[in-house]
Amino acid sequence: WNKMSDAELAELRLHLEAWRFSQFMHGEQGALICTAKIVQTVPDLDSKYYAATQVIDEARHVEVYSRYVHEKLELSYPLNPNLRSLLNDMISDSRWDMTYLGMQVLVEGLALAAFGFIRNMATEPLGKAINAYVMQDEARHVMFGRLALRDYYPQLTAAERDEREEFCVEACYRMRDRFLGEEIWERLGLPAEVAEYVATSEQQRTFRSYLFMRIVPVLKDIGLWGPRITKAFGDMGVLEFGDTDLDDE
């Protein structure tokens, strides 16, 4: 970093934010598709009504992130492969609860933490405000998924819950890795040592663990807290978040 000029550092910061906000935009596009699917597949009428209101929320989010990326930053990045594979799994699965689990709990729970981090740290007022407003919707969406699945998962067999735990473990590893930003270093022609530094730096490890602050206690609350989940979260260093007071958060 010390060898980069001020202009090169400014370009790097622009690409970092363009990549970050592009992934938010793509995630909201996936949420829009998933929520529209929930309207069709969820069995009870009240949940269909709520999911319909979330479709409107997600459409607004797609619009605001798209405009910020294309009109303000004027630089965009494609969908991260880890996020793409997770969205494909959620969209292709016909079971309504898997869409809830993947989108309402995992993707939006992670997004809620990321948005909060940017809201607290950002100095650019428009990007800061966008994330603060979107957070208000996302907190409601995560709570809805939490309440729906907390009532439903005790009805499942142990084998069915094990399958959902395995899905969560794989999804959490993919979401952890989606924030490494390999696409940025490749696009700017930076050496491989940069990607290695980012992956192992203390700051990045702290950020990645912070992302799970919302996900871990929700999974524990809805009853997905078997050995697969706890081992994975122990490996990631985020198991202590299981004791977080969700209502206080």
The tens digit of pLDDT for each residue in 5-16 reads: 889 899 999 999
DSSP 8-state secondary structure symbol assigned to residue 226: S
**Model pTM score:** 0.90
The tens digit of pLDDT for each residue in 75-99 reads: 999 999 999 999 999 999 999 999 9
Q: What is the mean pLDDT of the chain?
A: 91
The tens digit of pLDDT for each residue in 100-109 reads: 999 999 999 8
CA angle 38, 41, 43 (to 5 degrees): 110
Residue 114: pLDDT band (50, 70, 90) is: confident
The tens digit of pLDDT for each residue in 35-85 reads: 999 999 999 999 999 999 999 999 999 999 999 999 999 999 999 999 999
Instruction: Select from 176, 188, 185 the least CA-distant residue to 235.
Output: 176
pLDDT of residue 101: 96
Question: DSSP assignment of 28-89, as one string?
Answer: HHHHHHHHHHHHHH-SSHHHHHHHHHHHHHHHHHHHHHHHIIIIII----PPPHHHHHHHHH
One-letter amino acid of 212: F
Instruction: Select from 182, 172, 178 the least CA-distant residue to 213.
Output: 172
Specify the 3-state DSSP secondary structure of 149.
helix
